[in-house]
Structure 1
């Protein structure tokens, strides 16, 4: 994984708008501003560069729905062969490294070539699957698991079995169009039910490459019940990754939330015994698990997945935060499944499911 190089003067209007949206997301700016630039990029892409240039010449660009003063300024400067001022400001403000990476952290960031936890606009993400994939390719990634939410999480527009089946066909079509340069894997972030069951049918789970399982409800469940709930999930051979295990929020627009109470030693021992990777969720508002639990999982022999939990393209680089923590806490790269090739990952998952 690497950061995108700053764009120079010669840039297409669509590329300038996409990059601006990416940088706004990376800087965690308001979603409406991001949506304005992504919407304008879609308008430009549909019109084509010749029509866009003609409208700039005629002064009719701003008559188009979805083109405002800021987006029009970016388009006009790009058509003129200039680096748009607005984009240049975003590159200056939000284009630098996310973490101060020493040699070890930098090496781990470079080694992380995949992601087991990403979302699209099929559930509560902000961008189409294709845009998430394109950005991952631009960041030098080799594979990514699409893990939109499961049905019970209605607030996040969770996927029914029917919608998931339709999404899997889209994944196949995207992979067919990529010519082997990148692999989009079929997945889900499945909700862990109160009794430790999984919120999707066995038939559909059996069609997926990677399953990340997370608790999203009743986070204040008593410690014993929560422990049994989580162990029930990680002992299911369909589960590959235990997502954001404490459920805590430490900062951000949703406020803060304390971590769930569970017997971490028992849960991580079950993860180690069943080959389930413990996610190091890289989102700054989660920073989950806390350091002491990562150290416990490390000492118990667990594998890890450094994931972005990205809900938008500009969040895919957040794995740098997880890499910094993992290196600082002594997690070797080969214990991180997101450093593995897609082939190795799939072989590991298939072997686990066969028992």
Structure 2
């Protein structure tokens, strides 16, 4: 096993299990350090016992590199693989997961994600996706380093350059756009028109009066550039938690169905949004759906199985899931 492969796989497994950021960063930093070495340098440093003199390589990552150079599966990686295999399996979702072709909600370190765009795109392709949508945050969400119009324009150029060498995989241009209190969207209209997919989400005033929240969401999902309604209740299930926003779900889902805006089935373990009762009401309303990871790290791109299981449990028809579509069909719908 190549040392870079081992280090990246460890980081992936740690991210998938929601390990702390500093643990993950150690392995990704070490992987980058080894990747930058000349051919054979890692083996020479192992022989010279100088690995830990390289910035970004510490005692634990050096041990992984030594074992990989020696042709062994590193012990730490082996333990993580066994823990992952022993974890309780998600029941259901296999049929829908087999049809998934992409992910409409992915973050990078341009906003509050933990990894570069290249790492997120490469991992999505390695997982078998045909496409993924890069959806970093919009300007108002300063706590998440939301992208100003100028930074978003820079990002679009970066995506164009990456796609030149990534075919057949395609990284689509998108945004997770804040829904402002009046239902308007937090980005310049001309920039929204340049994007492939726009996810619209509420991140502020989550305890707004239900009638006002209903009007807010209705206005947002009816916006001509809105494609996906992200984590619609805003709830958080872990830590201190956060209750669901209150709104007239039937009215909001009816607006989604009428406007052709998909409802996101958010796969993050701390969100699992919408709750099952609302998900079943969305099915009854005839809406489209997007099974999305809302990934902020490469390992989190592997979370779609949980969303697929909830979708199947709640009777979501596979032909109404836009993340099972080809990129061309998705772009035709979103356009």
TM bin (shorter chain): over 0.9
Mapped pair 1:320 → 2:305: yes
**In the alignment, which residue of structure 2 is the partner of 1:162?**
150
1:310 to 292, 295, 305: 295
Mapped pair 1:216 → 2:203: yes
2:237 to 250, 254, 268: 250
**In the alignment, which residue of structure 2 is the partner of 1:127?**
115
- Partner SS for 2:175: strand
Q: Give structure 2 stretches of 5+ with no counterpart.
A: none
- Partner SS for 1:47: coil
Change (3 A) 1:95 1:118: farther
- Partner SS for 2:303: helix
Q: Over aligned residues, Cα RMSD in angstroms?
A: 1.1
1:63 to 46, 53, 56: 53
**In the alignment, which residue of structure 2 is the partner of 1:261?**
246
- Partner SS for 1:230: helix
Decide whether the 8 Å contact of 2:200 with 2:230 is kept in 1: yes
Pairing 1:146-295 to 2, within 5 Å after superposition? 146-178=134-166, 180-251=167-238, 253=239, 255-295=240-280
Residues 148-176 of structure 1 show CA distances to partners (whole Å, capped at 9, x for unaligned) of 00000000000000000000011111110
Mapped pair 1:42 → 2:27: no
Rounded Cα–Cα distance in structure 2 between residues aligned with 1:186 and 1:235: 21
Rounded Cα–Cα distance in structure 1 between residues aligned with 2:247 and 2:153: 34
Rounded Cα–Cα distance in structure 2 between residues aligned with 1:142 and 1:211: 19
Rounded Cα–Cα distance in structure 1 between residues aligned with 2:46 and 2:107: 35
Rounded Cα–Cα distance in structure 2 between residues aligned with 1:338 and 1:205: 21
2:132 to 134, 140, 144: 144
**In the alignment, which residue of structure 2 is the partner of 1:346?**
331
Rounded Cα–Cα distance in structure 1 between residues aligned with 2:22 and 2:89: 26
What is the CA distance between 1:65 and its match in structure 2? 1.6
What is the CA distance between 1:96 and its match in structure 2? 6.0
Decide whether the 8 Å contact of 1:12 with 1:79 is kept in 2: yes
Change (3 A) 1:314 1:238: same
What is the CA distance between 1:95 and its match in structure 2? 4.6
Rounded Cα–Cα distance in structure 2 between residues aligned with 1:307 and 1:59: 44
What is the CA distance between 1:98 and its match in structure 2? 6.9
Rounded Cα–Cα distance in structure 1 between residues aligned with 2:85 and 2:299: 11
Rounded Cα–Cα distance in structure 1 between residues aligned with 2:85 and 2:151: 36
Change (3 A) 1:44 1:129: same
Change (3 A) 1:226 1:112: same
Rounded Cα–Cα distance in structure 2 between residues aligned with 1:149 and 1:24: 24
Decide whether the 8 Å contact of 1:26 with 1:94 is kept in 2: no
Decide whether the 8 Å contact of 1:197 with 1:232 is kept in 2: yes
Pairing 1:28-107 to 2, within 5 Å after superposition? 28-95=18-85, 99-102=89-92, 105-107=93-95
Decide whether the 8 Å contact of 2:222 with 2:259 is kept in 1: yes
Decide whether the 8 Å contact of 2:90 with 2:305 is kept in 1: no
Decide whether the 8 Å contact of 2:111 with 2:147 is kept in 1: yes
Aligned length, in residue pairs: 335
